[in-house]
Structure 1
Amino acid sequence: MNSLPSFLLTLSLLAVTSGIQAAPRPKLTDPNATPETRALYRNLNKLAKKHILFGHQHATEYGHGWNGDTDRSDVKSVTGSNPAVIGVDFSGLSGRPPEAIERTKASLRKQIADTYNRGGVTTVAWHFTNPVTPKTGFYWKDSVSAPAVPDLIPGGSHHEQYKAILQTVGSLANSVRGKDGKLVPMLFRPYHEFDGGWFWWGKPHCSKEDFTKLWQFTVSYLRDSLQVHNFVYVFSPDCLFKTEAEYVDRYPGDAWVDMVGFDDYADFGRNGRYNLPAGIARLKIVSDFARKNRKLAAFTETGLESIPDSTWWTGSLLKALKAEKVRLTYVLVWRNDARSATHFYAPYPGQASVPDFLQFYNDPYTLFETDLRPMYR
């Protein structure tokens, strides 16, 4: 007599009685998300179980000593592959003359579509010019900047203006198509580093209630009124938290967030100071919160300016990413300025950390663009 079926039945009964069950799969908050956006979300979730995608801000727009070249990135010049994740910015979509905004939209459309056509992933930051005091830009300037968050939410003095700005964002999102004719999915990361005070939307300049109202309105208006269905919404404070409770202090709720992350330069060598144990602890808090709440997680920004530590990639970053078996979709380092000799966060040919970066690149855990499976199917 074959005892295998009864053995399997016993195992399944044991699993039920002991409460063992597979963790539910993360699910997008937009029920009408495009098939490509749903596929990207599923594939990021699958890959995060064993890998992490490497990202670089503005990687293909410009780099160390160059600007606007076709089919180029500093990372590709070093490794032969572009980063798996390319960061762009919606900063130019408001606070400027209409012709300048249209030029920005055309440039963004090309960058985002090109990344999609190559099989890569786009993440979007938003260094958003203050709509109430546009001359102050996106940074907070004491005694000059307006604490604008309450002015943008429903009932606020600049609410209609904010809706017009979101219409510009929405028109771009709904016009970026790949060569297959499909709308391109994007990881949209508004109001980042909101727990600090350096941006006008930062914690010292608005109440928790107004911040979460602004977040919820932004998602609702884009998704439900403007019919933007190719955004994955990413929540990312800076690294000013030590506990999960502090991390979620301004969390707008599971219904309004698809991915959680954080930005952390301070623990990874900024100003010569390292605190890897603190950085690792924060990575674990975010990863654990994501799994518990059916979200994806990411290390949304980090890096070491000028990379003076030639073994930073494996000795600090990779070490931290692997320390607690965290589950993260991607890690992104900041940009390489075209004109500054010192403002860069990824190596370029000849830079001192290239040998170590190649070890980081060749590690099976890290994925670059040429390593990716089809992400949108």
Structure 2
Amino acid sequence: MTIKTLLFWGSISALTFSCTSKNDHSLVDENASPETKALFHNLKELSQNQTLFGHQHATEYGHGWQGDENRSDVKSVTGSHPAVIGVDIMGFSGVPEEEINKNMESLRKNVIDTYERGGITTVAWHFSNPVSEGRFYWVDSVSLPAVNYIIPGGGEHEKYKEILTTVGTWANSLKAKDGTLIPVIFRPFHEFDGDWFWWGASHCTKEEFTDLWKFTVSYLRDSLDVHNFIYAFSPDNRFNNEEEFLERYPGDEWVDMVGMDNYADLGRDRYDIETAAKKLKIVSDYAEKAGKLAAFTETGLESIPDTTWWTETLLKTMQMHDAKLAYVLVWRNDIHSQTHYYAPFPGHKSVPNFMEFYNHPYTLFEKDLKNIYRLEK
């Protein structure tokens, strides 16, 4: 039995003891499914000593391939899928209905497959602008500030409710072979402190953004009976203290997980792991104080030119201040591009260092997870 496995089972044993008397109403949804509550509490416990590794679109496609059954670049390198698989519901609006239905079914299968293997899904939303041309990016010549239009009282509010109905229908279709409703981590409106998305800080007020967040959660939870979402709040890295981190925070009653996206400090613009670690500590400390999960919701170094990036940059950043992180997720591996990838594939020069990262007691991959959706009585 490896050190990593011993640490995992030690965490689960502690969890079994501590959760028998703990109130399960930590989630913003008091009616969350038993598996959703179990996932929340298990992630909280595991994050005290270890962090799950995640990869965006890991099993949908990778470096030079697409749609292969039970494949991921990470599995091809290590023998295990990532513990956390990132998907995106960007295809649930802004395209013809036939395409929406196809996208819903494809992602439904992906989530089910991940659950049946014992893994976890996190759901991003690169939401096409619902009131103007263009997609999720802000384009000065065509984009409209959609947040003001789709919040309660806005001219396109009913249209937004229709889009959320699609999301809710999909959420309630996520059922395992035995009929269990599958939990996912839902991370809408990410990197809202930047201005590259139409929901960014330059395109809506703080009040408009928090109104959008609150309505989204309440409509999914209370009107559409979605009870398998863990709601994640994740700005980019444009903060230096807790006050700045919480500038657009809707309140503890509306958020289950707090996170941060940070590429800039880990090699994209500069190597400043001390600053990155300080920001992760701010996120982690707030989560501990508020009873939330914390996560490093997006990061990575495109093409991974630094062959020791996994242990000397990423691992050191996460461990520097003992941040309690449920998971870290690196971005996708493009199908066609020779340079746009964030996880190694067979033959990549960072594979030896990634294997050190994989074997480290701190990191957990899909094969390391046991009964993540259950609380022992």
Superposition TM-score tier, normalisation by shorter sequence: over 0.9
Distance 1:102 1:24, change over 3 A: closer
The question of 1:352 aligning with 2:365 is answered: no
Superposed, 1:87-236 pairs within 5 Å as: 87-133=86-132, 135-236=133-234
Among 318, 321, 330, which residue is 1:321 paired with? 318
Q: Which amino acid aligns with 1:365?
A: Y
**1:320-343 per-position Cα deviation (integer Å, ceiling 9, x unaligned):** 111111101000000000100000
Q: Shift of residue 144 of structure 1?
A: 1.3
Distance, in Å, in 2 between the alignment partners of 1:86 and 1:164 is: 27
Aligned length in residues: 354
Q: Shift of residue 275 of structure 1?
A: 1.0
Distance, in Å, in 2 between the alignment partners of 1:312 and 1:234 is: 26
Q: Which amino acid aligns with 1:106?
A: E
Gaps of 5+ in 2: 1-21
Which residue of 2 is the match for residue 343 of structure 1?
340
Q: Which amino acid aligns with 1:113?
A: I
Matched position secondary structure for 1:155: coil
Which residue of 1 is the match for residue 85 of structure 2?
86
Asked if the contact 2:83/2:120 (under 8 Å) is kept, the reply is yes
Asked if the contact 1:185/1:231 (under 8 Å) is kept, the reply is yes
Q: Which amino acid aligns with 2:205?
A: S
Among 267, 270, 283, which residue is 2:268 paired with? 270
**1:87-138 per-position Cα deviation (integer Å, ceiling 9, x unaligned):** 00010000000000000001000000000000000000000000001x3100
Asked if the contact 2:24/2:37 (under 8 Å) is kept, the reply is no
**1:56-114 per-position Cα deviation (integer Å, ceiling 9, x unaligned):** 00000000000000010000000000000000001000000000000000100000000
Q: Shift of residue 143 of structure 1?
A: 2.8
Q: Which amino acid aligns with 1:302?
A: T
Distance, in Å, in 2 between the alignment partners of 1:204 and 1:93 is: 25
Matched position secondary structure for 1:270: coil
Among 281, 286, 290, which residue is 2:283 paired with? 286
Which residue of 1 is the match for residue 41 of structure 2?
42
Asked if the contact 1:26/1:294 (under 8 Å) is kept, the reply is no
Distance, in Å, in 2 between the alignment partners of 1:334 and 1:26 is: 32
Asked if the contact 1:24/1:294 (under 8 Å) is kept, the reply is no
Asked if the contact 1:314/1:357 (under 8 Å) is kept, the reply is yes
Superposed, 1:247-262 pairs within 5 Å as: 247-262=245-260
Q: Which amino acid aligns with 2:177?
A: K
Asked if the contact 2:74/2:80 (under 8 Å) is kept, the reply is yes
Q: Shift of residue 24 of structure 1?
A: 9.0
Distance, in Å, in 2 between the alignment partners of 1:342 and 1:178 is: 36
Q: Which amino acid aligns with 2:223?
A: S
Distance, in Å, in 2 between the alignment partners of 1:140 and 1:172 is: 27
Distance, in Å, in 1 between the alignment partners of 2:210 and 2:294 is: 20
Distance, in Å, in 2 between the alignment partners of 1:175 and 1:24 is: 28
Distance, in Å, in 2 between the alignment partners of 1:276 and 1:221 is: 39
Distance, in Å, in 2 between the alignment partners of 1:25 and 1:174 is: 21
Distance, in Å, in 2 between the alignment partners of 1:303 and 1:45 is: 23
Among 308, 312, 315, which residue is 1:311 paired with? 308
> Which consecutive aligned stretches of 4+ in structure 1 deviate over 6 angstroms post-superposition?
23-26
Distance, in Å, in 2 between the alignment partners of 1:155 and 1:327 is: 39
Q: Shift of residue 314 of structure 1?
A: 0.2
Q: Which amino acid aligns with 1:110?
A: K
**1:185-204 per-position Cα deviation (integer Å, ceiling 9, x unaligned):** 00000000000000000000
Q: Shift of residue 180 of structure 1?
A: 2.0
Distance, in Å, in 2 between the alignment partners of 1:54 and 1:326 is: 15
Distance, in Å, in 2 between the alignment partners of 1:270 and 1:202 is: 21
Distance, in Å, in 1 between the alignment partners of 2:25 and 2:166 is: 29
Matched position secondary structure for 2:297: strand
Asked if the contact 1:26/1:296 (under 8 Å) is kept, the reply is no
Distance, in Å, in 2 between the alignment partners of 1:116 and 1:149 is: 33
Distance, in Å, in 2 between the alignment partners of 1:143 and 1:205 is: 14
Distance, in Å, in 2 between the alignment partners of 1:175 and 1:148 is: 28
The structure number with the bigger radius of gyration is 1
Backbone CA RMSD of aligned residues: 1.3
Distance, in Å, in 2 between the alignment partners of 1:265 and 1:365 is: 21
The question of 1:238 aligning with 2:236 is answered: yes
Which residue of 2 is the match for residue 19 of structure 1?
none
Distance, in Å, in 2 between the alignment partners of 1:276 and 1:233 is: 27
Asked if the contact 1:192/1:236 (under 8 Å) is kept, the reply is yes
Asked if the contact 1:153/1:210 (under 8 Å) is kept, the reply is yes
Distance, in Å, in 2 between the alignment partners of 1:358 and 1:50 is: 20
Which residue of 1 is the match for residue 18 of structure 2?
none
Matched position secondary structure for 2:41: helix
